[in-house]
Structure 1
Amino acid sequence: MFFDLNVKGNSYDNNLKLAMEASKYGWNHINFSYNQNKFMGALEFKEDLQDNLDINVNYTLEIDSNNVNDIRKIARKFRDKSSCISVIGGDLKVNRAVLENIQLDVLSRPYLKRYDSGINQVLAKEALKNNVAIEICFIDILKSYLTHRAKTIANIKDIISLHRKFDFPLILSSRAESVFDIKTTKDFASVFLSIGLTQREIDKSFITAKNILEFNKNRKNMILKGVREVNDEA
């Protein structure tokens, strides 16, 4: 199963084209990502979108803010409305706050606009402890060149090394913005194989993405991680 939790959401028509292309290229599920200002508007056509597609689709709330308090408030506001809540990383304060917050699902691109990966051993342990996935985006490799690409790949490799040591959740997403950014699942995996991930690790990232969606279906009934409240009325 191939799950992508970060395809850049846009209009109904554009989403339809992206989803159809993804389906043609072997993807089973995609989440369209919207920031906190556009998420509610996009919900208005989500059901119509799903009704016209063979591929499964849902939405990710992608919080874009450098204010830690705002991130917490936005997450609380949208938690029950979103199948996945992600926060764009890069700022060290944001990276830390996200990985310490069990109400969040994903820290996306902690290396963004940085000269390092944005993750260290302390943060890797927090990601594992709070079950917050770290997301690496294909588009950051696809649309970078020369020195910038080399640095991006080096940062991603650092995250991979920490993932192997601490086993925090890791997901791989496209963050595709147009049909030209959608790749076949084989080509997608090949790029990550070329920078050092194993096929097993790539497969595990898709399982992790699926598990995030499954967990959030039952999040309101969760007492502790992995412990669900059961209604015993019969």
Structure 2
Amino acid sequence: MTSPADRLQALRARIDAAARAAGRDPATVTLLAVSKTWPAAAVRELAALGQADFGENRAQELAGKAAELAGLPLRWHFVGQLQRNKAAAVARLGAVVHSVDRLSLARALGRAGVAAGRPVEVFLQVDLGGPEGELAERGGADPAEVPALADAVAATEGLVLRGLMAVAPRGAAPGPAFARLAGLAERVRADHPGAVDLSAGMSADLEEAVAAGSTLLRVGTALFGARPLPSPEDESHQSHGSQQPG
């Protein structure tokens, strides 16, 4: 068994190599450790090694860990499918939301950002396609609708548009899907120059994502190892966003 320090060092070496192969500065790529299902102690251990960004996909789990680790300089991200009635709780924690795929959710987050006194940073999740039945699990807006959604989000008080996010389709080479995402991100940036970030790439496909311009990699398995199996009760409470990063 490798230690967390060894896994983090190996992952950072992969990211650095991928960035250099793409002609990019490795400093332009941020590692987001997806700590869903792992205890706060695992987050604390990585934080002690210099890891600052952590992602969760359930609002309740995010709130619990944020409270337990309140003394650490962490940046929290919400990477699962978010229900509107959880928007205020996530906004109060200052978490970056990676999965905005509909205007109703954007408006709920905007209201929550105004109430919290600080805007919510958001990514628009893009549906990159996949086998029938997969899309309902992963979520995402139709690429054709993303520019209009970006306009609406950018005009919503209480929100800051960071960029686009996507998960590569299962069972297909990720490179072409990430290339389509990069093209769409360029179109959005033409209208919204501040939307400079691209949240794409996980443990298995981070090299392809970096080559396509990803600035934020959502990695779980390569950092923490195989995830603990959830109990039946946990499974009954998990959102569809459990399919998001890894």
User: So what's the TM-score if we normalise by structure 1?
Assistant: 0.53
Q: How many residues align structurally?
A: 177
Determine if the alignment matches structure 1 residue 83 to structure 2 residue 83: no
Identify the residue that residue 121 of structure 1 maps to in structure 2: 107
For residue 89 of structure 1, report the CA deviation from its aligned partner: 3.7
Give the distance between the partners of 2:150 and 2:70, measured in 1 at CA.
Answer: 27
For residue 163 of structure 1, the aligned residue among 149, 154, 158 is 154
For residue 77 of structure 1, report the CA deviation from its aligned partner: 1.6
Identify the residue that residue 122 of structure 2 maps to in structure 1: 134
For residue 97 of structure 1, the aligned residue among 76, 89, 92 is 89
CA deviation profile, 1:101-125 (whole Å, cap 9, x unmatched)? 0x323122033xxxx3442535324
Tell me: CA distance 1:203–1:32, structure 2 relative to 1, closer, same or farther (3 Å). Answer: closer
* % identical aligned pairs: 6
- Contact 1:117-1:156 within 8 A present in 2 as well: no
Helix, strand or coil for the counterpart of 2:105? Answer: coil
- Contact 1:95-1:118 within 8 A present in 2 as well: no
CA deviation profile, 1:155-214 (whole Å, cap 9, x unmatched)? 67425413234362222365678xx7589x9986532133575262334899xx9xxxxx
Give the distance between the partners of 2:12 and 2:174, measured in 1 at CA.
Answer: 13
Give the distance between the partners of 1:199 and 1:23, measured in 2 at CA.
Answer: 28
Q: Which runs of 5+ in 1 are unaligned?
A: 1-10, 51-57, 210-234
User: So what's the TM-score if we normalise by structure 2?
Assistant: 0.51
Give me the CA root mean square deviation: 4.5
Give the distance between the partners of 1:24 and 1:174, measured in 2 at CA.
Answer: 22
Give the distance between the partners of 2:81 and 2:88, measured in 1 at CA.
Answer: 9
Determine if the alignment matches structure 1 residue 61 to structure 2 residue 36: no
Identify the residue that residue 212 of structure 1 maps to in structure 2: none
Helix, strand or coil for the counterpart of 1:73? Answer: helix
| Paired amino acid for 1:65 | R
| Paired amino acid for 1:41 | A
Correspondence list, 1:1-234, <5 A: 11-12=7-8, 13-25=10-22, 26-27=24-25, 28-38=28-38, 40-41=41-42, 44=45, 58-67=51-60, 70-87=61-78, 88-99=80-91, 101=92, 103-111=93-101, 116-128=102-114, 129-137=117-125, 140-142=126-128, 144=130, 151-153=141-143, 154=145, 157-166=148-157, 168-172=159-163, 190-194=183-187, 198=191, 200-203=193-196
For residue 21 of structure 1, report the CA deviation from its aligned partner: 0.9
- Contact 2:35-2:54 within 8 A present in 1 as well: yes
Give the distance between the partners of 2:187 and 2:83, measured in 1 at CA.
Answer: 28
Give the distance between the partners of 1:122 and 1:83, measured in 2 at CA.
Answer: 24
For residue 22 of structure 1, report the CA deviation from its aligned partner: 3.1
